[in-house]
Amino acid sequence: MAAFPPSEVLAELTATEPPKGFRVTASRDGYPELTYKTTGMVAVAVFFAVWLTGWTTGCVLMSHQMLFTGQPFRFSQLLLLIIFWGAEFAVIGTVLWLFCSETMITFYPDRLLVERTLHKYQKRWEMARKDIEGVWQIKDGGEGRDSFPSWGLIVAAKSTEIKLLFRQKFEKSAWLGPIVARWAGVEYQASGPR
């Protein structure tokens, strides 16, 4: 399959209305850029809100019990308190990264640039176009004990993979996957039945 130039990617991105959360623009260099911010996922957001409320209440009550009742406490209790608060902040960071970060995908003639940003923290991945071997839609949630069905999109090269989307509705990766595959000149492999 022959790859097509960035100008055709822009036409492809704007040919249909992008799914909610996507915005098509051009980079400072004039190349097609797709900006994505997580939308939907209400059930996951509600789960995290309920879980964090309970966990925070437990942490506050445990802290109050240890620090303000005047009772002596052991080192093991302090260690447990630190672990619980550490878990609290780790989950908050994960939730912020999942729901508040913004992903920018730029289609250069020779490479794919993916930047995910949350305030001043940024992760950046680059993949040479010639090294891309495949684009796969994967089902990454809703199996076993995971009750939230979701899909992701992986771009694979010889030595690495970039997960462009994860834990999203089927339609989002089904829309973006074929576009990325055509740009790279590789086959797109859709996930199994929903």
Residue scoring higher pLDDT (3 or 59): 59
pLDDT average, residue stretch 99-125: 93
Whole-prediction pTM: 0.79
Distances (CA, A) of 135 to 147, 190, 191: 26, 9, 11
pLDDT average, residue stretch 165-169: 85
pLDDT tens profile 6-19: 667 777 877 888 99
The percentage of residues in the chain with a pLDDT greater than 70, rounded to a whole number, is 91
Residue in this structure with the two tokens 């999109």, named with its chain if needed? 153
Give the largest CA-CA distance in the chain: 73
Check pLDDT > 70 for residue 147. Answer: no
CATH hierarchy code of domain 6-38+101-189: 2.30.29
Residue scoring higher pLDDT (111 or 78): 111
The structural domains of the chain, with segments of one domain joined by +, span 6-38+101-189, 42-98
Q: Which of 47-51, 83-87, 142-146 has the highest mean pLDDT?
A: 83-87
Burial of 165-181, coded b for 16+ CB within 10 Å and e otherwise, reads bbbbbeebbbbbbbbbb
Q: Which two tokens stand for residue 134?
A: 């495949």
Phi (first) and psi of residue 42, to 5 degrees:
-60, -40
What is residue 145's predicted lDDT score, i.e. its pLDDT? Answer: 66
